[in-house]
Amino acid sequence: MLFVLINMILLFSLAFILFYTEKIRFLKKDSSEILLDILKRYPDLYKAFKNTTLDTMTFSIPGLFKAQTLEKDSKKLDDCYDITPQGLAVTENYIFISAYCYSHKHYSVIFMLDKKENNSLKIIILKDRTHAGGLVYDENRQCLWVCSAAKIHGRVSAIFKEDILNYPLSKHEAISYYHNINFPTILQASFITMKENTLFVGTFNKRKNGVVLKTTFEHEDFDNSRKEESIRIPKKAQGMAFYKEYCLISQSFGPSSSKIYIFSNEQLSSGKLDIKNALKIVKTPPYLEQITVFEDHLYAIFESGARNYREKTAKFLMEVLAFHLPTLLDTVE
């Protein structure tokens, strides 16, 4: 018994030393070298990153060291050191990043970035301490959908584009939601995406398959069909995105490598996405959260750059990354 215990201690000590040796090695390099060193361990992802046709391939995530938002009890502006990024939406001009307070002491926020200038424009304070697991921009209704909070069911809420643009830089109160959609059959809306005029709202489940509910808007207003279709998805799903005839699912939990599963839209229509039938599986660094598509690029955000995750992996990322989708999909059969 003593021999086993000693060996366990030695193995733990070795892992500890290797972990922090790697971190020290990274700290001696600049951020671009660190990023490339991490991505080189994931050949498919690295190739798609190198083939990116954008002027800007990375976008720094604001607030990872400190961000100002409302304190939960006093409702006064306060410094939050536990901001954790989750959701991601990309438009022609802007990048939106949702984040929550890991210690649950502050209200959640959305960071608004200027995509072309690659700088942070403002912090938009949300109405509660929602996990804010997903964002998607709705061109037809000119609003940003966010996974919001409800006591016993899933909910997504719409924020008007004009309210976002007019939200002042120094405002100390939460932005208003224009419209809410409740999903009574799920406990939480964990992530969200859109395809054409249909909203897809998914749940994260650590132990068993998750569920995506889809609801379609009939017109350009907020009237949506209440006939919700259910789709079975892999466990530990963190995000969903569409590109041409493909559906992509991000999966992540813990410090091991995350994955992006690539399915066909035909498989999606069957109502079940099984990882055994994935057309391709792309490994990524750990703690991958939402993925989203804009034109020919896949944008990905990781929570590993947040304070409470930086100590859990040497492969932490503090940027939104863009990947060339035709390259990522070039071997899909």
In a domain, residue 20? The reply is no
Can you give the CATH number for the domain in which 189 is found?
2.115.10
Burial class for 305, CB neighbours closer than 10 Å (0-12, 13-18, 19+): buried
Q: pLDDT tens across 222-275, in order?
A: 887 766 789 999 999 999 999 999 999 999 999 999 999 999 999 999 999 999
In a domain, residue 7? The reply is no
In a domain, residue 291? The reply is yes
pLDDT of residue 14: 39
Mean pLDDT in consecutive groups of 10 residues from the start of the chain, 333 residues: 52 43 45 91 97 95 96 95 98 98 97 95 95 96 95 94 93 92 93 95 94 90 78 97 98 95 96 96 98 98 96 93 97 77
pLDDT of residue 142: 96
CA distance 86 to 78: 21
Beta bridge partners of 88: 97
In a domain, residue 229? The reply is yes
In a domain, residue 2? The reply is no
Q: What pTM was estimated for this model as a whole?
A: 0.90
In a domain, residue 137? The reply is yes
In the chain, what is the straight-line distance between the N-terminal and C-terminal CA atoms, in Å? 52
Structural domain boundaries enclosing 120: 29-328
In a domain, residue 5? The reply is no
pLDDT of residue 311: 87
What is the count of structural domains for the chain? Answer: 1
Q: pLDDT tens across 39-50, in order?
A: 999 999 999 999
CA distance 316 to 47: 19
Which residues in 98-125 are b (16+ Cβ under 10 Å) and which e?
bbbbbeeebbbbbbbbebeeeebbbbbb
Q: What are phi and psi of 269, to 5 degrees?
A: -65, -20
Q: pLDDT tens across 144-154, in order?
A: 999 998 888 99
Alpha helices in the chain (DSSP H): 2-27, 31-39, 43-50, 161-166, 265-269, 307-310, 325-328
In a domain, residue 22? The reply is no
pLDDT of residue 30: 58
Q: What angle do CA 82, 85, 274 make, to 5 degrees?
A: 130
